[in-house]
Amino acid sequence: MHADKPLAARSGGTPPQGAPHDAAPEGTAPPRKGRKRPRRGLFARFVSAVLWLGVIGVVVGGVGAVALWQHFSRDLPDHARLADYEPPVMSRVYAGDSRLLAELASERRVFVPIVAIPKLVQDGFISAEDQNFWTHPGIDVLAIARAAVTNLQQIGQGRRPVGASTITQQVAKNMLLGNEVSIERKAREAILALRIEQVLPKERILELYLNEIFLGQSAYGVAAASMAYFGKALDELTVAEVAFLAALPKAPNNYNPFRFPEAAKGRRDWVIERMAEDGAITATAAASARAEPITVRPARFAERVPAEYFAEEVRRQLIDRFGQEVTTQGGLTVRTSLDPVMQEAADRALRDGLIAYDRRRGGWRGPVARVEMPPERLRTAWTEALAAQARPAGALAGWRPAVVLELGDQEARVGLLERGARPGVPPQPRILALPMSEMAWARRALPENRLGPVPRRPADVLSPGDIVLVELLEAEPAVAAARGRPARAALPERLALRQMPEAEGALVALDPNTGRVLALAGGWNFERSWFNRVTQASRQPGSSFKPFVYLAALERGMSPVQKILDAPFVVDQGPGLGRWRPTNYTAGEFGGPTPMRVGMEKSKNLMTIRLAEMVGLGAVADVSARTGVIPNLQRNYSMALGAGETTVLRMAAGYAAFVNGGRQVAPTLIDTVQDRQGRVIYRADGRECAGCVADAPGGAPPEAPDNRPRATDPGSAFQMVSMLQGVIQRGTGGRAAIDRPAAGKTGTTNDFLDAWFVGFTPDLVTAVWIGFDEPRPLGDNETGGLVAAPVFSAFMREALRGRPALPFRTPPGLRMVRVNAETGEPAGPGERNVLMEAFKPGTEPGSAGAATGVLGGGAQAEAEGATTSRRPAAALDAGLGGLY
């Protein structure tokens, strides 16, 4: 079989000499054992190593990526909730005429659904912030690469790293993560962006972004920014205005058009170019937009009803009812009772009254500041000194600081800075005359409410370098008799010296039939003090409380002509406590037997205390609680004279029960509140009206039943109205008279600390208080009739202008009898000083139930001229309470 092969080959011996060691005989396969592969080249081994390293790197990188993903994904916010997310939206408060009153917000935002946002606005923000928004999965890899290269080039330059956030990433950051600058936050942001894109459509993501983004000027979202910068709705914006808004997300403060107009325009023009590149606008539209200046007109945010005290009280009530978060972020729509015309009249009347008192009693308290420099330098450098002077808090809008430059015999020359015609234009200096006639009131203030002599020349009031408040008065026709000029002469443009009063005041007006507050002035100026003296200040009402004592007597069958003894009254306070001897306003004057009506009209203290003794202090406290004036009145006689404490709003509500027929009144400032979906979640009027919701209109309008509790009976209420009319017609409230039927009562507390007038017409109740926040005397004889009644009159005349003069409605069942206004006796034919008095059946003169004689002391008291009560009277050291 193998005879043709050598023996050595067959037996495994040594091969023939000269043959290769691994060679095999021709035609046969090489042996398996000891065979070697060809040696690979160096390049092949390098490639192999790289491939192996790549595989290892991929594996390790994948493991690391998974680990990092799990690390950064841990505890991420739930992105799915963005599907039902409702961004914080500011609440809006509207006056009774639907004008904007206030915006309550931690962030000023108006939410607009994506379908209502114009495509131009959408395209502008996409071009500026995320050109690939519609195509990327949540992150833009190319943008990230560009940002990385840019950041590498800026290493060591101290610049902030450039980001590459998509709109989706910005939504994740703004709504779920926060603004921390770190690699970890960016990684979490990217992960969230990818997840958001999986659960939300692009339109919803863009909607959230455009409503959440901060754009400066306290505006969040494009709708709020459009109003803040241009006073326009979104569909009214031009291309240039859209581009400016789209330029703001990067750095709103750096592109503020007021501070950095050039930077703002440069960034805006860049956005315009991007919009043109993306095809959002044409080249022609882009060129036109670039040529348009940035003109900021935030007009509509400024168009609010100026009623800061009212708005702040509404805010407090909303927070008490709904909480802070819902009030400022819930998008509430609040309708209030405010009447802007009445509010303006209230502010003006109160301020005029405070100025009148201040000029009469406060005197001139000197300049608000001084410029200390030589006169020659003052004439040239006054503008810089005045520009550095801050405007005093509380100065009215038309008042401005001015510096006194020169003094003449009958006028001073003062310099002031006129405001620029538009934002960014510096104020212009002007020098005007301040005539002596406009500072003749400025008598020097002296201690104890005393005043110095009347000034004769400007030097008696001012000095060069004084910074004072002035008001620019326009040229107007002169009054010939007052000025000694021809009737057609005109006063030139001039200045008037002004001063903020130290005294404060409050005024509130409400509808007596509903309790809706129509006007509320809580002080001189909200800028000076947020303290609302209508609702937050508790003060003694003084004699304005007396009607509630008289009401208790009327409810017990006494008539307005019932005679009460006006004579000294002494209260024995007990062993060692001495005696309390109240007096009338004019001490030592006593009227003897006097009709109740006259006692009310003349505000007789002694008659009021006798009435309180006769009906009982418990009855007085009961009336006070039913009307809501003082819910827990102390049982002592000084309380009958108004020594308790109440608020201006409570007093107005208490008097409303007189004019509305005896119903209790709960004052309200808020009519309705709607949530962001328009659902009514609060309504002040809680009456049920079955016929108010009908399928088809027709017939007479339905009437809702008046189910409010009664404060008193209609007859007693009308009798009180009639008596309070006499206060204005013949008594202490003469300065409150207006051109229509009105009623009311003055009030002055012990030592002239508080001055009141509370009054009403058939359709409006108004309460006025004037005093100092830290109680101190207003001055001798500064009574409610002198200080507060003129404010009431001025307000009512303006508030009711153009309305019909309505009479007070007499309830059924009363008997009207002609009586003498002074004696209360039935009037004879042709008798003067006669009025129609209201009597309840059986109490009119001559009837069997009519009271006769004098109440409050009997024959012995009349003979001795005094009445002594041995009832305990604790806390009488609180003072007399009511004076006039």
Q: How far apart are CA 553 and CA 750, in angstroms?
A: 25
Query: How far out from the chain centre does Cα 198 lie?
Result: 44
Q: Are 770 and 503 in contact (CB under 8 A)?
A: yes
User: How does DSSP classify residue 360?
Assistant: I
Q: How far apart are CA 811 and CA 614, in angstroms?
A: 27
How many helices, marked H, and strands, marked E, lie in the chain? 27, 30
Q: Give a three-class secondary structure readout of 518-543.
A: EEEECCCCCCCCCCCCCCCCCECCHH
**Is residue 393 classed as helix, strand or coil in its secondary structure?**
coil
Q: How far apart are CA 141 and CA 352, in angstroms?
A: 68
Q: Are 676 and 518 in contact (CB under 8 A)?
A: no
User: How does DSSP classify residue 668?
Assistant: B
* Amino acid, res. 192: L
User: How does DSSP classify residue 359?
Assistant: I
Q: Are 666 and 515 in contact (CB under 8 A)?
A: yes
CB within 8 A of 838, min separation 6: which ones?
A: 560, 715, 718, 719, 722, 810, 814, 815, 816
**Is residue 484 classed as helix, strand or coil in its secondary structure?**
coil
What six digits make up the tokens of 665? Answer: 């009144």
The total of other beta-carbon atoms located within 10 Å of residue 879's CB is 18
Burial category of 476 from C-beta neighbours within 10 Å (exposed 0-12, middle 13-18, buried 19 and up): exposed
Kindly state the greatest CA–CA separation across the chain: 179
Q: Are 165 and 173 in contact (CB under 8 A)?
A: yes
Closest CA to 212 of 120, 117, 133: 117
Q: What is the DSSP string of 155-204?
A: TTTTPPPPP---HHHHHHIIIII----SHHHHHHHHHHHHHHHHHS-HHH
Q: How far apart are CA 504 and CA 354, in angstroms?
A: 7
Q: How far apart are CA 172 and CA 186, in angstroms?
A: 10
H-only helix segments in 453-545:
480-483
Strand partners, 760: 743, 765
* Amino acid, res. 445: A
> Any idea what the Cα angle at residue 59 is, between residues 54 and 65, rounded to 5°?
115
> Residue 211: in which H helix or E strand, if any?
helix 202-212
Strand partners, 595: 563
Q: Are strands 494-498 and 445-446 parallel, antiparallel or unpaired?
A: unpaired
Strand partners, 430: 416
* Rounded-to-5 percentages of helix, strand, coil across the chain: 40, 15, 45
Strand ranges across the sheet with 854-855: 592-595, 563-566, 854-855
* From 91, 226, 543, 716, active-site residue: 543
H-only helix segments in 323-420:
324-329, 340-357, 375-387
Q: What is the CA radius of gyration of the chain?
A: 43
129 is catalytic: yes
Q: How far apart are CA 720 and CA 599, in angstroms?
A: 12
Strand partners, 185: none
* From 103, 129, 189, 241, active-site residue: 129
Q: Are 707 and 687 in contact (CB under 8 A)?
A: yes
> Residue 547: in which H helix or E strand, if any?
helix 546-555
Q: Which residues are catalytic?
A: 129, 543
